[in-house]
């Protein structure tokens, strides 16, 4: 929705509601928490500002009464979403929604979050999505009572609107954002890989070191020690562990600098540079770790083989010397089981670790590609997806937006208003109030009024008079009773 494309690495919206739910309204008959009451009244105000189609389409009664439910013709249900769900979505790298209509379930999701202004601002946009629900084909625009532009005509309108020179700057900005999304995804790919590599390498060295210590500590092995080899191996293990810790710290510091940077784009480039520098050393890291791992394995095997062979030799001697035939049998059995146990499982283990590494790398690539595609599609839809462009046009009309084109709002002119006037439902214009107010606003601006003053006067006005002409824009009848349920 908003221009929050740095979601992957900057901390953004979706602040929690900080315990607000425990504050209850003073009205004894109203069990709803005060913040919910306030939010619902804000939503009501936004919905009432829209034209009367909302009355029959958006569900108003959320009490448990069965009769109330039966009386409903409306099908779009409001649903609260707990803020934590939003935070999770953000962590996955998706761009957070302020409010969102979900055509598949026909629900209008309202995240409970502290930024109420953003949420309410998104309502006009989402209400277009309700109208133009082509997925569920439940939107009024797809019903027989609708008269107006076909989807082809909508496509043509959007094409000519967006090709106007006024959109060039926005187009350029969006291209830059595409670049940022691409770089961000790339950075996260390397970042995750490096994190994993460093962790994996440290763990492997740690394991190798433990193996070495174990074998050194075995008291029966003293006779088989191979000089000062284990001292050298131990030193090499320590060196490697320090090297990986330094790499991890270096990356951590670079990350901290990135988070505090005032220029996220250049910081992102520096971060990618740093990541690539470390990433280039990954083969060397693996090589060093694999080497130490193998050397220690070989050393351990060497020492253990000596011990094993010696034990076998001792058993052979016992068997040869034993006079008691029963005891002799016992020694023979023991020798056989020692032979079986002696076969090391290390090869099998190493094979499965290799498989795991391969599998993890594949999963990681798929996840990153998915995150990147989602973010890119959000960037792209600003100027390509007809549903999204129309949502911005209708939102701009109801919000009386007269500024330069930005990602979520565009300025409109008489051509746009004429186009919006063609949308009717049951013979009534779908956007009458928006078109009349916007047109009047244009007139007031050309008469010298500031755009923000025009918006302040008109956006929620129900009656207005200007230059001898009277306007009537009654609020749509929309009153929420009960509390919308939570989305699970």
Q: What are the tokens at 265?
A: 């784009």
Residue 164, token pair as written in the block:
């106007």
* Chain residues 275-304 in contact with Zn ion, contact rule CB under 5 A: none
127, 100 in Cβ contact below 8 A?
Answer: no
CB of 1 to Zn ion, least distance (A): 7
Taking a C-beta distance cutoff of 8 angstroms, is the pair 435, 397 a contact? yes
Burial class for 127, CB neighbours closer than 10 Å (0-12, 13-18, 19+): buried
Q: Establish if 130 lies at the interface with Zn ion (CB under 5 A).
A: no
Q: Answer whether 437's CB lies under 8 Å from 473's CB.
A: yes
Q: Which stretch binds Zn ion (CB under 5 A): 204-212, 281-289, 367-375, 384-392?
A: 384-392
444 with 456: CB under 8 angstroms? Answer: no
- 2 or 334, CB closer to Zn ion? 2
Cα(69)–Cα(59) distance, integer angstroms: 9
Sequence-distant (6+) residues with CB within 8 A of 177 are 3, 5, 379
Shortest Å distance, C-beta 391 to Zn ion: 5
> With respect to Zn ion, which residue has the nearer C-beta, 371 or 391?
391
Select 261 or 377, whichever has its Cβ closest to Zn ion. Answer: 377
Task: Kindly state whether residue 202 participates in binding Zn ion, applying the rule CB under 5 A.
Answer: no
Residue with Cβ nearer Zn ion (104 or 262)? 104
The piece of 138-146, 236-244, 390-398, 450-458 that touches Zn ion (CB under 5 A) is 390-398
Q: Rounded to an integer, what distance in angstroms lies between the CA atom of residue 400 and that of residue 102?
A: 26
Smallest distance, Zn ion to C-beta of residue 466, A:
32
Indicate the residue among 131 and 208 with the shorter CB distance to Zn ion: 131
- Cβ of residue 488: shortest distance to Zn ion, in angstroms? 23
Smallest gap, in angstroms, from Cβ of residue 168 to Zn ion? 23
Could you say whether residue 391 binds Zn ion (CB under 5 A)? yes
Structure tokens at 65: 């009464």
Return the half-sphere exposure (C-beta side, CA atoms, 13 A cut-off) of residue 272: 16
Rounded least distance, CB 125 to Zn ion, Å: 6
Q: Which stretch binds Zn ion (CB under 5 A): 109-117, 230-238, 270-278, 383-391?
A: 383-391
φ, ψ dihedrals at 465, nearest 5°: -130, 135
Q: Which residue is nearest to Zn ion (CB)?
A: 391
Question: Least distance (Å) from Zn ion to the CB of residue 345?
Answer: 56
The residues that touch Zn ion, with contacts defined as CB under 5 A, are 388, 391
């Amino acid at each position: 929705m908003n221009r929050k494309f740095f979601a992957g690495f900057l901390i953004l919206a979706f602040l929690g509601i900080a315990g607000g739910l425990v504050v209850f309204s003073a009205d004894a008959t109203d069990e709803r928490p005060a913040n919910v009451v306030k939010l619902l009244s804000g939503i009501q105000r936004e919905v009432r500002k829209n034209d009367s189609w909302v009355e029959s389409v958006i569900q108003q009664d959320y009490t448990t009464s069965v009769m109330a439910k039966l009386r409903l013709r409306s099908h779009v249900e409001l649903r609260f979403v707990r803020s934590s769900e939003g935070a999770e979505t953000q962590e996955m790298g998706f761009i957070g929604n302020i409010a969102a209509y979900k055509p598949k379930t026909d629900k209008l999701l309202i995240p409970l979050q502290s930024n109420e202004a953003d949420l309410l601002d998104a309502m006009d946009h989402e209400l277009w999505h309700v109208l133009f629900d082509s997925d569920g084909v439940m939107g009024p625009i797809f019903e027989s009572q609708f008269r107006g532009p076909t989807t082809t005509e909508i496509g043509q309108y959007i094409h000519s609107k967006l090709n106007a020179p006024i959109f060039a700057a926005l187009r350029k900005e969006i291209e830059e954002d595409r670049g940022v999304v691409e770089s961000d995804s790339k950075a996260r790919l390397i970042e995750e890989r490096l994190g994993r590599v460093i962790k994996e390498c440290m763990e492997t060295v740690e394991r190798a070191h433990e193996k070495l210590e174990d074998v050194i500590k075995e008291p029966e092995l003293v006779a088989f020690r191979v000089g000062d080899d284990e001292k050298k191996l131990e030193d090499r293990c320590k060196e490697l562990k320090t090297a990986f810790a330094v790499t991890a710290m270096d990356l951590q510091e670079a990350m901290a600098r990135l988070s505090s940077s005032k220029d996220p784009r250049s910081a992102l480039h520096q971060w990618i540079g740093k990541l690539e520098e470390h990433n280039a050393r990954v083969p060397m890291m693996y090589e060093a770790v694999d080497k130490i791992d193998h050397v220690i394995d070989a050393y351990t095997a060497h020492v253990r083989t000596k011990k094993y062979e010696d034990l076998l030799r001792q058993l052979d001697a016992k068997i040869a010397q034993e006079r008691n035939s029963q005891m002799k049998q016992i020694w023979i059995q023991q020798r056989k089981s020692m032979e079986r146990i002696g076969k090391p499982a290390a090869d099998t283990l190493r094979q499965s670790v290799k498989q795991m590494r391969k599998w993890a790398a594949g999963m990681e690539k798929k996840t990153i590609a998915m995150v990147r595609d989602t973010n890119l599609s959000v960037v792209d839809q600003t100027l390509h997806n007809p549903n999204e462009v129309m949502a911005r046009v209708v939102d701009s009309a109801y919000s009386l937006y007269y500024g330069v084109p930005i990602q979520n709002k565009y300025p409109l002119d008489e051509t746009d208003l004429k186009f919006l006037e063609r949308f009717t439902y049951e013979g009534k214009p779908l956007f009458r109030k928006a078109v009349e107010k916007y047109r009047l606003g244009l007139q007031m601006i050309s008469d010298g009024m500031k755009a923000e003053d025009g918006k302040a006067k008109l956006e929620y006005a129900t009656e207005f008079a200007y230059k001898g002409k009277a306007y009537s824009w009654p609020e749509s009848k929309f009153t929420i009773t009960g509390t919308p349920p939570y989305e699970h």
